[in-house]
Amino acid sequence: MNNSHKERISLARKVMCHEANSISETAKYLNESFSDAIDILRKTNSKVIVTGIGKSGHLGKRIAATLSSTGTPTAYLHPSEAVHGDLGIHQSGDPIIFLSNSGTTPELLFLEPILRERKSKIIGILGKSPSPLSKVVDVVIEANVASEADPLGIVPTSSCAVASSLADALASVLMHEKKFTKTDYMKTHPAGQLGKNLLFKVCDVMIPKNEVAILSETSCMKNTMIKMTEFPLGVACIERNSNLIGIITDGDLRRSFTKFKSLDDITAGQVMTENFEYISPKARLGDALEKMEKRDSPISVLPVVENANNLLGIVRIHDIYSPAKNT
C-alpha cells in the first residue's frame, strides 16, 4: 500500500472513530428527557412530524422513514414550505420533532407558536442547549458534540451522526414498547431483500426434488459426478428407501480426492455428509439465510425437508437473493 492510500485510509478511520466517540459520549449523558420524548411519541393517535432545514432537513427525511417503517407513522415537513400551505399535513395534536444543530434556526422559531396553537408537543433534538429553541420546546434531547469530524471542523459530520443515532434510539425503544415484530416489519417492507427475507417462505423459491441430483448410498463416484453434472446445483442428495440420509456438495467431492487414494471403489455413502443442515419448507427466507451464514463455515445450499427426512427439494443462497423464479 503506497503512502497516498495509507493517508486516505488513516483520515477515513479518524473521521469514523471521531463520530463513534461522539455517539458514545452522547449515550453516557442520556437522561429522563429521552424517556419524556418517548411518552410524547407513544401517546399520539395520529402521526409524528419531523422538521428541520439544511442538513437537519435531509436527516429529518431519513428519520421520518425509519420511524414510519418501524410502527410510528411519521412525515417530514419542510419548515419554510409549512407556512406556505404544507402545514396542511399537520393535524391538531400531532407531536413535532425539531432538528437543529445550532438551536437558533429561525424557520423553526417562527413555526413554534403556530404549532402551539395546534396543541402540539414539541421535542427538540438540539446541538446547543441552552439556546433559543431549547427554551420553547417541551423536551430537549441534547445532541451537542465537542467538535465535528471533518478536516475543517465545521461540516455537520459528528453532529449529524449523533442526531441520527438518537433518532434510531427513539425508534428502537418505540419498537420495543409497542412490541413491534418481524411480521409487522414485513408489512411495511414487501419489496427489497429485507421484505423477501420476511415475506417469502422457502417453499416459494426452492428447487423441487425432481430437479435435484438424487442418488443411493451405494452409487459409485463416477455416477455421482455424472448426476451432479446433469443437475449442476452444487449438491446431490443421498436417499435410502426414499428417506434423506446425507448430502454431497461440490466441496465434499473436492475433499474426497485428497481423502482417498482412488475413487474407483468408493461409494456416495462414504463421501456424503450425514450431519447436514436442513430447513423446513414453511421457514422464511431470512431463517434459511441465517442458517447458512451464521456458522463457523458458511454454506450455500440447504435440503428442504419435512417430517425429518422427507426431501422436497433444495434452496440455495442464490435462490434467496434472486427469488424471482417461483414468486
Taking the CA atoms of residue 149, residue 126, residue 176 and residue 90 in that order, the dihedral angle to the nearest 10 degrees is -130
For 49, the 3-state DSSP assignment is strand
Which CATH code of 3.40.109.10, 3.30.590.20, 3.40.50.1970, 3.10.580.10 fits the domain covering 202-321?
3.10.580.10
Domain residue spans of the chain: 3-180, 202-321
Integer CA distances (angstroms), 31 to 67, 121, 141, in order: 21, 19, 8
**Which residue's C-alpha cell is 427489497?**
192
Measured from the Cβ of residue 251, the count of other Cβ atoms closer than 10 Å reads 14
- Name the pTM for this structure: 0.71
Q: For residue 309, what are the CA distances in angstroms to 249, 305, 316?
A: 18, 6, 19
Q: Can you tell me the distance from the alpha carbon of 215 to that of 244, in angstroms, rounded to the nearest whole number?
A: 10
Express each pLDDT in 285-327 by its tens digit.
888 988 998 888 888 999 999 987 899 999 999 888 875 554 4
8 A C-beta contact, residue 130 and residue 104: no
Question: Do 217 and 246 form a contact (C-beta atoms < 8 A)?
Answer: yes
Residue 127 near residue 159 (C-beta atoms within 8 A): yes
Query: What is residue 324's predicted lDDT score, i.e. its pLDDT?
Result: 52
Domain at 3-180: CATH code:
3.40.50.10490
Give the model's pLDDT for residue 3. Answer: 79
Q: Which residues of the chain have pLDDT under 50?
A: 326-327
- Enter the C-alpha cell of residue 247: 448430502
Res 259: pLDDT:
86
155-164 confidence digits (pLDDT tens): 999 999 999 9
